[in-house]
Structure 1
Amino acid sequence: MWPETKEILAQRMKAVSSLAEQHNRTLDYGLRVHVIVRDTEQEAREYAEELVSKLDDGKGSSIRDRALDSTSLGVAHQAKNREIADGFGYIEPHLWTGVGRARSGCGAALVGSTDQILSELESYRKMGIRAFILSGYPHMDECVSFGSKIMGQLETCSLPHIYGRVPDPPPLTPLAAGERT
């Protein structure tokens, strides 16, 4: 899933889970979202604003429109997020839609201090989201920031191990052959 308000995500998850139950299936959910984490919320918000401070909205629209997914339902939901956002681009206290002004696809970021981002990720986990695809801009800088501030405090798991669905023998891929820590 791509970011929307927690209320909307919960409604979608409930609706899809009820359909899955009719077929004796249980679903796991994942969330794709950008992250901007700094020592303080103010620093994170300032960085978010700096990211788009020189963006021409016409150019951003052109970038979004030429993307292959520009007519997808998910992209439409991201556009709706921008429409309902407050004057600073937030649809929830730490969910900022500004990144979607310059790209198609996942168009929102969690923005906040270390504790705030950890709290947001935990609230998604409590909703039933078990997998996260996280990124930021510029990619390497935000990876280092997230790694130093957040990663060591997250409980991680391997869903194939949890469900007892690890192939035996494991496939000869870098992910399967690597040791999980």
Structure 2
Amino acid sequence: MGEQPVFHWFLPMHADQRHYGGDPGARPADPGYLRDVTRAAERNGFASLLLATSQASRDTWLTAALAAEATETIRFIVAFRAGYTLPTLTAQMIDTFQQLFANRLDVNIVTGSEGPEQQAYGDEISKQDRYRRTDEFLRVLRAELRGERYDIAGDWYRVVGGGRPAPVTRPPTIFFGGLSDEAAEVGARHADVQLMYGETPPMAAEHVERIGALAARHGRTVEFGIRIQVISRDRSEDAWAETGRILARLTPEQVERRQRDLARRASVGQRRVQSLNPGVLDPDRLRPYPTIWSGLGLVGGGGGSTALVGSHEEVAERIEEYRSVGVRHFIVSGAPLLEEAYRFGEGVIPLFR
């Protein structure tokens, strides 16, 4: 089956839901709670925490520094938008983080998002140009991190005499997502881990084959990761009971409104995973594959709108199936993040040791 799976958890960047489906009593992601979630993930055997970015979220770099100060071994996957800072400055930030926090930084390169969010940042270039910019950004970033003198004259960046004073002690693992043709090419050329949303194992296998072949043309190999939610319990019936409680909180009007919002999404990956969500309050139709539930698409979740649901053993079995088709990294999360880190960490992770 290849190498053991690597499990990553999630750090709240706004607030943490006490349960799926909207929560007016959500816990604020204040410094104390961020430290609690980080320590729970470290204690339960997760390799790292993803800090997702959006225009409405807190800054991922500063939040990661706060969490790193409270821990010793867990790493941080800091998401940021390529092109919003110079790649030379980004290399300096990476170098500093590695020196201050024992080489515990990895990065998730984000190229873009929905049109309104791009405009809220003041970034109105086309999707094709954003990927061209990301490609060049990563070429400059890699050159900087090597600690060798270099010059680059590109369409987006012109650097003379660049390069860190010395090679970065541990270059960060580069996580990269996107399934469009443009994204697949950039990932094949630069990514260490190519990410996808929570599609079924047969759907995931398509991406592994496609992007693996593209990377091979560039003389490279990439690993693959999946972003998916989890509802894992000691007994399967208890996990599925949670999905029933989520559906019970919804009205047909809420579902219809949510489906309209999802239809406007531009991301190829998000559209693919949302194809598993029929937009109806029918429990049977929300099970597109064994142990996979698509009902979170009815309450939000964007690309992370599918969940692994079942007993710890059943969830582990599905993870093993993903692993058999080439997926090694699992960025998982649950609601609330603090308690679910213990549930997954105590129930599922030990099954792979």
TM-score normalised by L of structure 1: 0.75
Conserved in 1, the CA contact under 8 Å of 2:198 and 2:226?
yes
Check conservation: 1:37, 1:111, Cα contact below 8 A: yes
Question: How big is the shift at 1:136?
Answer: 1.1
Normalized per residue, the structure richer in helix is 1
Matched-pair identity in %: 27
Structure 2 residue identity aligned to 1:111: V
Q: Distance in 2 between matches of 1:86 and 1:98?
A: 8
What does residue range 27-66 of structure 1 map to in structure 2 within 5 Å? Answer: 27-60=222-255, 62=257
Matched residue, 2:171: none
* Structure 2 gaps, min length 5: 1-195
Query: How many residues end up aligned between the 2 structures?
Result: 154
CA–CA separation in structure 2 for the residues paired with 1:122 and 1:8: 15
Question: Residue 292 of structure 2 corresponds to which residue in structure 1?
Answer: 95
- Aligned amino acid, residue 46 of structure 1: A
Work out which of the residue numbers 196, 201, 204 in structure 2 matches 1:6: 201
> Residue 83 of structure 1 aligns to a residue in which SS?
coil
**Residue 18 of structure 1: how far off its partner (Å):** 1.1
Q: Which runs of 5 or more structure 1 residues have no equivalent in the other structure? A: 156-181
In 2, Cα distance between equivalents of 1:64 and 1:10? 27
Greater relative CO, 1 or 2 (CA 8 Å, sep 6+): 1
C-alpha contact (below 8 Å) 2:291/2:308 kept by paired residues: yes
**Cα 1:144–1:23 shift into 2, 3 Å:** same
Q: Residues 108-162 of structure 1: CA distance to partner in whole angstroms, max 9, x if unpaired?
A: 000111111111112212221111100012222322211221223334xxxxxxx
CA RMSD of aligned residues (A): 2.4
TM-score, with structure 2 as normaliser: 0.40
- How far apart, in 2, do the equivalents of 1:121 and 1:24 lie? 29
1:23 shift after superposition = 1.0
Q: Deviations over 1:77-111 (max 9, x none)?
A: 12211139973411111010011111122110001
Match of 2:350 in 1: 152
Q: Report the Cα offset of residue 59 of structure 1.
A: 2.7
Is 1:64–1:70's contact at 8 Å kept on the other side of the alignment? no
Q: Going by fraction, where is strand more abundant, 1 or 2?
A: 2
Q: Residues 94 and 110 of structure 1 are in contact (CA less than 8 Å); yes or no, is this contact kept in structure 2?
A: yes
Residues of 2 paired with 1:61 and 1:141: CA distance?
31
Q: After TM superposition, which residue ranges in structure 1, 4 or more long, deviate above 2 angstroms?
A: 56-67, 83-88, 138-141, 151-155
Find the structure with the greater CA-based Rg: 2
